[in-house]
Each structure stands twice: as structure tokens, then as C-alpha cells.
Amino acid sequence: MTDSTTAPIALITGASRGIGRLLAQKLGQRGVTVVVTYKGNADLAEQSLADVKAAGGDGITAQVDIEQPESIDALFDLVRDTYGRLDMFVANAAASAFKPVAQLKLHHLDRSYATNARSFVLGAQRAAELMDRGGRIVVVTSYGSLRAFPTYAALGAAKAMTEAYTKYMAVEYGPRQITVNAVNGGLIDTDSLDYFYNAVPGMAPMETVIEKLPLQRPGTADDMADAVDFLLSDKASYITGQTLSVDGGLTVIAPPYWADTTSPLRDAVLPTAPAGAE
């Protein structure tokens, strides 16, 4: 075990790219020591850790396959042996199959449960054991937990399960001063969004969805990382058991959509195209 330190210790799954990497850098700016986990690309993880150190933090990289319970155990054993404690745990990594319910096979269901719901529960159990002076647990979910749309059943159902577990954990871990929350993302401009709208055969064009959002743009990885960073901070010390939607208003709209209206009703909300524009 290394010498004890006053710097907070954070563990982020899937921290080698996307939302996890940006979050790690933001925590580094606060002087946090970050355990940057990855599944297969050690080089990307090292680059992410370099960002953390350049921002003012410290940390290590660690390989984990969240689908395997023994790999999760090995990860938290490493944290215990290296730092002796943990202050923040962010369950960010995810994976699933994008298929209609009728096409889901047993291995799709098993993997979606293992990588999203089961890994969160097992990770939170081990994280809480190391939070000897209170702590923060945050799981990253998505709007498929709240709304049904094509090919997202396996992942959406798993994310809904993690949000349910968030409430139960908040109640049980609260007396130990551990808060547990979820950040539910909408259309966030990451590699995953690009894959969903461009690699799934027959998927609706992304622009037809974005035009219906109240904010009329996809979110950014920064938008998500900022929300998680807030819930990990002292400013959120009295918030627990909550799911924070970061979705540009996606989950408050319903048909008929303003984007589908015409003048004169449309003109009351949506800007009129400038003269000469097509």
C-alpha cells in the first residue's frame, strides 16, 4: 500500500475515452487521484491518465472486464492494496446488443445484464466497503430506461434496473454517508451515438430526432461529465437516490412535436427561415 494521502480517490470504469476520459480530467483539475480503467486499449488509458496528471491530479491505470465478476474483484483488490480506501465510484462502461425484442438471444440478454446491471451492483458493493469516511457512487444511464424506441430494449431495461438499484443503494448506504445517484443521458455526441444511428440497419436518421428536441442539438460528453462531476462534489452532498436527466428536454416532450407543426402555429415557437433560405 502506498503512503496515505489526503487527495480523494476515484475509480471510473470506461475512463480511457469519451465521457469517462473527460470526467477523469475534470477530477484531475480538482486534485483527485483517479483509477483509470479500460478493457482492451492500454495506450488510450495511459493517455487518459496523462491528461489527469497534466490537470493536477494523479492515479493509475487498471484493466478490467466488467462482464467477469473475478475481474471486478481484482480491480477493487488493486484499489484497496494501492490506496487503502475509495471516495468516488463511477460506473460508466456499458455494452449491449441493439436488436428488436423478438431477435434477442440468450447471450444478448445475459451479456446486457452482466455488463450493465450486475457489474454496477458488484462494483458498488466493493466500492462501499472501501468508503470508510463516506463517499459518492454515480452510475451513467440513458434515456432508454425511461422511453421505448427501436432496438434499445436490452440496454434500456438494464439501465432501468441500475436506476432502481440506485434508489435501494441510496437508502441502505445513506447511514454511512455514501450518496448514490444516476446521470441519464439523452442523445450525447459520442462514438456510441454515431454507431447507433449509422451502424444499425434501418435506423431513423439522427437529424429527424434532433430537430424534435427542445434544445435542438445533441448533448456533448462535456455535458454528461459536468453532471457527474457535480454529483461527485461537495455541492451535491445532500442529493441521493436521484436520476438526473441530461437530455436537452428529450424526456419531457411528446407527440405532436413542434417540429412537425406548420404555420401559423409553428411560428410561435420555431424561428422562421430567413428570406431566400431553402
pLDDT tens for each residue of 149-178: 999 999 999 999 999 999 999 999 999 999
Query: Which contiguous run of DSSP H or E holds residue 28?
Result: helix 18-29
Q: With 70 as the cut, is the pLDDT of residue 275 above it?
A: no
* Active-site residue identified among 38, 39, 159, 197: 159
Collect all residues with Cβ–Cβ distance below 8 Å to 198 and sequence separation of at least 6.
206
Collect all residues with Cβ–Cβ distance below 8 Å to 32 and sequence separation of at least 6.
7, 8, 9, 10, 57, 88
In terms of C-beta density within 10 A (0-12 exposed, 13-18 middle, 19 or more buried), how is residue 230 classed?
A: middle
118: cell is 450486475
pLDDT score recorded for residue 149: 93
- The CB-based long-range contact list for 259-262 (8 Å cut-off, 24+ gap) reads 259/211, 259/212, 260/212
* Active-site residue identified among 83, 143, 152, 197: 152
Give the mean pLDDT of 29-35.
97
* 152 in catalytic set: yes
Give the mean pLDDT of 141-151.
95
Question: Percent of the chain, pLDDT > 70?
Answer: 96
* 105 in catalytic set: no
When pLDDT is cut at 50, 70 and 90, the band that residue 4 belongs to is very low
**Are the C-beta atoms of 225 and 246 separated by less than 8 Å?**
no
pLDDT score recorded for residue 195: 84
Q: Is the pTM of this model over 0.75?
A: yes
Q: With 50 as the cut, is the pLDDT of residue 3 above it?
A: no
When pLDDT is cut at 50, 70 and 90, the band that residue 115 belongs to is very high
The residue assigned the cell 456510441 is 192
pLDDT score recorded for residue 276: 52
**Are the C-beta atoms of 12 and 19 separated by less than 8 Å?**
no
In terms of C-beta density within 10 A (0-12 exposed, 13-18 middle, 19 or more buried), how is residue 238 classed?
A: exposed
When pLDDT is cut at 50, 70 and 90, the band that residue 96 belongs to is confident
Share the mean pLDDT of the chain: 93
pLDDT score recorded for residue 5: 64
The residue assigned the cell 439522427 is 206
pLDDT score recorded for residue 1: 41
When pLDDT is cut at 50, 70 and 90, the band that residue 274 belongs to is low
